[in-house]
Structure 1
């Protein structure tokens, strides 16, 4: 909150709770270095989504034992509006 002196900081308790449940599972993943993040984009065509994923550079991991994970969720809204969530991760066993 101190980092945002000109703006109020609002905490989302639901998301915080979800992350608190998720983070211990990363620790229990057993000796892996995990890097990843979500992308949230509107859908109009596939090309901008592929470009957004490519621009992350996650595919540039050079470890011989690197593995990747990808999850996609599309949520429909009225008037053919689609919200696309992509979670991309690289995993390296240490």
Structure 2
């Protein structure tokens, strides 16, 4: 059986974020916790659910690789001076 998406696939390309968006905010949170993006988090944590703030859709809590947790605010945490550090992957 063939599948068009491979959960173990590496990203095709990577670029740096140019400006803040909700997507960049969530990528910032995943990368701060040690993951490339939401896909890698789900793969590593075996399909663990991702808590998000209902008002904003921002990630609320992530489990790091060392099993400690990061808790995030419902407000923006990725400041303008950090935006260029966020890696945006294309799968």
* Larger of the two Rg values belongs to structure: 1
Higher RCO (CA < 8 A, seq sep 6+): 2
The TM-score by the shorter chain falls in which range? Answer: under 0.3
